Structure 1
Amino acid sequence: MSSATTVSAALRQFVDDELLRMPMLVDQLVDGTVDRMRQSLPTLAPQPRASAADVLHALGTQRELISDYYVRSLRRQIAERGPGAQGGGLPTTLSLVDEDSVAIDVEISHVIELIRSTAEYELRELQTFTAALVGDMDLAHDHNPFGPAQHARALWAAAQALPLSRGHHLLFTRNAAPALASALRRAYAASSSRLESQGVTPAAYRTMILPSGARRTRGPEISHGAGLDLVRSAIAPASELGFSLEGNDFPTLAIEPAVTPTRADAGASPADHRAVELLTGLFDAMLSDRRLSQDIALMLSRLQSVATRLVLREPRTLEDETHALWRFVDGLAFLGDVLPPQGDPERTQTLRFAQGLVEHLAADPAPQAPLFEWASERLQHQAQHRFAHRCTEAAAQIAELQRLEERLCSSMAPPSTLGGTLDIAQLDTVPAELMPADGPGEPQDAQAWLLARRPGEWLNIFLQGRWVKAQILWPGELGELWLLGDAGSSETWAVRRRAMQTLHAERLLGTLKPRSLVRSAAKRVMRRTINLG
């Protein structure tokens, strides 16, 4: 039996054991919800008290169905994230995400955060054991199939077992969240204990191993503005201490061996040696970034040799994090964030194009900044081509949305769905405390943010119970509807303006831009230098 099969079997056994215990957890959360709601009844106004009484009565008659809905949701989510699961194809109908559905997303996000904050320690501990079950001893990814997001979505699914309105479902979810968080804290701790008793050795979060005799002290905080110039200035004293940035602290995926100055045998200057030391440390730190996918990391490692030649020709590269070299590196990393998962034909084709650019750069014996500017422009042009192709595929949807937008803007009672795929009832029975606090007016900050958005921009947005990376395909000629395309699949969403504003106000929507890999790496190098100093 292969190790992969053994690992898979170990995780499957864990999942099966946990699912058998889920009905007991649901019983605990229902009991906790009932206690909480009964205690709050005397403090409620007449209408909220009547809504709470309706929920309490339904909980008394639907307990078994609630448990069934909860466990089925978990099973479905585990199947969707498991090996071999297929992403969604092009939807035959288009859901309209309106204020009603966003109210659900906001509540689910609150449940997720409450679970994370309540069971933070227990969750981290369980992650070390589930990572060990799949052989990820460095905890590069979270392998826990029963995380806060999965349980929060299962809780909302369980709410559907109550034969009541959406407003009652939201009321149940809000009151059940604390009970669920407490129950999960105990459940996570118990799961870790069971795995430990079975002889599972937990994985370990990656830590810095200091030399013998060195003391770890809390160094000064590195500000967000700390960049390459600050790190470079610290290299000289670090070198005097006999400290080298090369070593095992940062696991590297480099294809090529570390490059040393070509003039080393001819008496390279100490500045050249320090520059190469710093560059090597920066690349090691970037390649150890857990957010970087394996295929992107391999491409970045290919750039280390040409980056060394560039730094020896243009030393100021190490003092300017906006240099063309680092912008190209960030562009490659951003590709990994906005392309479909590994194995998807679009990702393979796009990265093949990017790999060609990398090979062209690596072959240049005397690279200069304009070469990297050219490579960055080529990446941008390729991204524009992918965006245009995506818009062409969505042309029929855009045409339908244009017609719908005109009807929505001229009607006082707009429809809440498009195509009937999202069954969201009007929340006319929702207690006042569950409704957005900004009233009928529009949040001005969110409105200004929306007006600044442009087609082709990428967003990080919480939709339908999960965080997704989505591209603006069409912002709506009248500003009422937005068509968004999922980065990881062909799925699209039509989102109403007020829904976008609510998500932005709840910090569930923001722009997704390339992050500075070299800035993060520089901070890690600087902290290491300070700790060793």
Structure 2
Amino acid sequence: MFSSLHPHELLDHALTEAGPLARELLNVVQDELDAQPQHYPLREGWRKVRSHFAADFEGKLIELLQAGRRGEDPLHRAPLQFGGLESLSLVDEHQALQDVAIAHVAHTAEELSRAELHQIGNFYAALRGTARARERDNPLRPALFAHALHHALAASPLGAQAQYELMRVAATPLARALHRLYTQACVTLHAADIGDMVASHGNARSDPLAHQRLAAARGIGARPQAHGTLDGLSRRVDAVNSKPQGLGAPGAVVPRDPQAPAPFVRTTGPDMLSRLYDQILADPRLLPPLKGLLARLQIAVVRLARADNTLLRRQDHPTWALLNRVAAHGMAFERADDPRLVDFLRFMEAEAQLLVDAPTPTAQLFQQALARVDAHIGQQARQSGERNAVALAALEREHQRAEWRELLREQVDHQMVDAPLGPRMHRFLQTSWVEVIVTAMVRHGRDSPEAQAAMEVVDAVIDSLTTPRDLADREALRMRLPVLIERLSAGCDSIQLPEARREPPLSELMAQHARLLRGLPALDPAERRAPAPRRAAAGNAAPASADEIVRRLMEERDSQVPSHWLSADVDRGELPTVPVQLYNENDSPDARAALQRWIDGIEIGRWFHLFIQGDWHTAQLAWIGEGGQFMLFVGREADERLPLTRRALEALLANGLITALEDDNIVQRAVDTLMSDLDGG
């Protein structure tokens, strides 16, 4: 069948076109930037890229195409994984922005060349002998070219926003160039007399998840698909049953095609339930053992339907919620022998037996089973990510270091008001010891015993400077001091504070203690510091003197984080002079509220399709950080880990690059199919 066409002919042609395509893209992008005023702010960034853009694009594209020629997946990546804090590959909003850009470029090309990509994909599926065409089997798919484009832009010192905008500018020109390439490839296929084969191969079995990925790629601008409801289906069946049989004269019988599906006319409740359940079990996404489990649950569902007439009226009935949850979790796995799926099915066998053996099945029994299933799935997910959640939690706390530092400084300042501290110890507690507390919070947790113990040291130091009332008080102070000094030294060790910075305040403190033990006040009245002025309201604050400003700067220079804009070479071309909003559609309060509700509603154990680091992944939410700013997803592979920030998740959601498996549940698909049967479609 392929004797007239070499298997590598399409790839070889694409390899010869890599150089011309790179140069064409270089010129067309320049033309776009010059022609459109809204793109003027990008020209400075493009100037940095332009000199080596064509070479970088061509080199990366050839590398990817040659991998495809060797039979490898050009975009194959090792499972995303990590072992500890130092090896985390965190997906933040900047990485998510890159993924959004890659997805946009690939989708633009796919929309322009959908028919051609269908034929090319079928050709490579036939070469591999697979029953259906899979996107990743096409070594000429648009994603390769999108990755080459991103590589060419990322090779220059451009910010994530500038890369994103330039990729959007290049998306349409690249899509047009690829359309010519794909059209020529289809001409080659037809010339080899295999056009009919590639046009039809794989049509019988489409990718059961393709509709989800396509909807995700279209983003939030896609039109939602209308869904039927169980109540609507029941009403339609009742309406059909209320009509006389036949369409001719009274008593006439209308012949029916024996190959046609059984009609709903005179369908009773049990018959409708049977048809609905048959449609559920016919879902092509179900693995055989999962289908067997759902078939076993049908016994309990049928028994429940006899006593509960709301089952076929309520879409939110616990029975359907249980079936949707079980199916969505099971369909997330690709292999029936996956240990996590085997464990889940073993658990579900016991749950199914409880429902089947119940003397009188009730909705409450199904609700209780659903709660146990949710708990099991959540526990299973937590165990999968437990090893990495500790490191991620530490990373999340590290990101809160600056916020905690500021709050603690204010708290310590408040504690030290009117305390008889020497100036060195006062400064030490304000800066170095605050860092000790923050470090303990980062390492062990905000409310950990270690952090609480470090905070208590501040009160202990202040209490130790209270003038003893008598000899007994002085002796008690003498007994406490070694422990206090030891705690201060251990804290300094925890942040590796140099001896030169710890010795002066500790010596000053010990000198004060010596005065107290001699019956003198901690501070010589002549040396007592003037109390620090409380912060005045903004409108009443007195202007600081020049000496005061210098003193503050000298005190704070060791601990304040330097400003990026003061220490770094700032490229004026990257300053937001003419800002281009990434999420224009999501600036409205309603859209932001919907985004907030979606993220707040996700639960540990749920499965998602998400586009991360240039590829689609199916992953389960395994951990949510204490502050809600970090999340860990566990993939299908045992070691695959996807740590995301909340802002990265928001970026993916706003651009349609994440979708929950349960959003397209198995019961809803069955209802939609039966509604379509009623409509004759």
TM-score (norm 1): 0.71
- Out of 185, 189, 201, the residue aligned to residue 203 of structure 1 is 201
- Out of 269, 280, 284, the residue aligned to residue 275 of structure 1 is 269
Partner of 1:234: 236
What does 1:136-285 correspond to in 2, within 5 Å? 139=132, 144-146=137-139, 147-160=141-154, 162=155, 165=158, 170=164, 173-192=167-186, 194-195=188-189, 197=192, 199=194, 200=197, 202-203=200-201, 205=203, 224=226, 226-235=228-237, 240=245, 274-285=268-279
Partner of 1:55: 49
Any idea what SS the aligned residue of 1:226 has? coil
Partner of 1:419: none
CA distance in 2, matches of 1:246, 1:352: 41
CA distance in 2, matches of 1:80, 1:487: 20
CA distance in 2, matches of 1:231, 1:245: 24
Q: Are 1:487 and 2:635 counterparts?
A: yes
8 A contact 1:245–1:278 mirrored in 2: no
- Out of 109, 118, 121, the residue aligned to residue 112 of structure 2 is 118
What does 1:281-360 correspond to in 2, within 5 Å? 281-339=275-333, 342-358=336-352
What does 1:81-96 correspond to in 2, within 5 Å? 87=79, 90-91=82-83, 93-96=87-90
Amino acid at match of 1:231: L
Q: Are 1:24 and 2:26 counterparts?
A: no
8 A contact 1:27–1:67 mirrored in 2: no
Following superposition, the deviation at residue 94 of structure 1 comes to: 0.5
Unaligned stretches of 5+ residues in structure 1: 1-5, 208-221, 251-269, 416-424
Amino acid at match of 2:381: F
Change (3 A) 1:284 1:46: closer
Partner of 1:456: 604
Q: Are 1:383 and 2:377 counterparts?
A: yes
Partner of 2:27: 35
Q: Are 1:465 and 2:614 counterparts?
A: yes
Amino acid at match of 2:229: G
Change (3 A) 1:429 1:23: farther
CA distance in 2, matches of 1:434, 1:21: 41
**Which of the two has higher C-alpha Rg?**
2
Amino acid at match of 1:145: N
How far does the alpha carbon of each residue in 1:386-418 deviate from its partner, in whole angstroms, 9 at most, with x for none? 133235322431342244123354586799xxx
CA distance in 2, matches of 1:339, 1:176: 37
Change (3 A) 1:57 1:320: same
Identity of aligned residues (%): 22
Greater shift, 34-43 or 102-111, is seen at: 34-43
Following superposition, the deviation at residue 485 of structure 1 comes to: 1.7
Change (3 A) 1:336 1:105: same
Change (3 A) 1:511 1:525: closer
How far does the alpha carbon of each residue in 1:60-80 deviate from its partner, in whole angstroms, 9 at most, with x for none? 555652433443676799438
How far does the alpha carbon of each residue in 1:342-399 deviate from its partner, in whole angstroms, 9 at most, with x for none? 4432222222322443455456686444443343233122113213323532243134
CA distance in 2, matches of 1:348, 1:181: 44
Following superposition, the deviation at residue 238 of structure 1 comes to: 5.5
How far does the alpha carbon of each residue in 1:84-113 deviate from its partner, in whole angstroms, 9 at most, with x for none? x97455545102323322221121121122
8 A contact 2:93–2:647 mirrored in 1: yes
Change (3 A) 1:228 1:486: same
Partner of 1:518: 667
8 A contact 1:340–1:487 mirrored in 2: no
Greater shift, 37-46 or 461-470, is seen at: 37-46
CA distance in 2, matches of 1:365, 1:28: 74
CA distance in 1, matches of 2:295, 2:81: 34
Greater shift, 52-61 or 166-175, is seen at: 166-175
Report the RMSD for the aligned CA atoms in angstroms. Answer: 4.7
8 A contact 2:611–2:657 mirrored in 1: yes
Amino acid at match of 1:232: S
CA distance in 1, matches of 2:362, 2:144: 49
Change (3 A) 1:223 1:442: closer
8 A contact 2:631–2:644 mirrored in 1: yes
CA distance in 1, matches of 2:293, 2:202: 27
Aligned residue pair count:
474
Following superposition, the deviation at residue 330 of structure 1 comes to: 0.4
Amino acid at match of 1:233: R
CA distance in 1, matches of 2:661, 2:280: 19
- Out of 54, 60, 67, the residue aligned to residue 61 of structure 2 is 67
Any idea what SS the aligned residue of 2:636 has? coil
Amino acid at match of 2:230: L
CA distance in 1, matches of 2:13, 2:321: 50
CA distance in 2, matches of 1:69, 1:304: 52
Greater shift, 405-414 or 31-40, is seen at: 405-414
Change (3 A) 1:229 1:472: closer
Any idea what SS the aligned residue of 2:312 has? helix
Any idea what SS the aligned residue of 1:468 has? strand
Any idea what SS the aligned residue of 1:319 has? coil
Following superposition, the deviation at residue 335 of structure 1 comes to: 0.7
Amino acid at match of 1:27: G
Partner of 2:421: none
Following superposition, the deviation at residue 531 of structure 1 comes to: 1.8
Unaligned stretches of 5+ residues in structure 2: 206-223, 247-253, 406-559
Following superposition, the deviation at residue 150 of structure 1 comes to: 4.6
How far does the alpha carbon of each residue in 1:238-285 deviate from its partner, in whole angstroms, 9 at most, with x for none? 5745799997879xxxxxxxxxxxxxxxxxxx97x6334323332333
Amino acid at match of 2:105: V
8 A contact 1:74–1:151 mirrored in 2: no
Partner of 1:506: 655
Amino acid at match of 1:229: D
How far does the alpha carbon of each residue in 1:262-309 deviate from its partner, in whole angstroms, 9 at most, with x for none? xxxxxxxx97x6334323332333334344445433433444454444
Following superposition, the deviation at residue 464 of structure 1 comes to: 1.4
Change (3 A) 1:364 1:119: farther
Change (3 A) 1:185 1:223: closer
Amino acid at match of 2:236: A
Any idea what SS the aligned residue of 1:484 has? strand
Following superposition, the deviation at residue 190 of structure 1 comes to: 4.6
How far does the alpha carbon of each residue in 1:140-191 deviate from its partner, in whole angstroms, 9 at most, with x for none? 965643444454334424545x555456755653344223322433444454
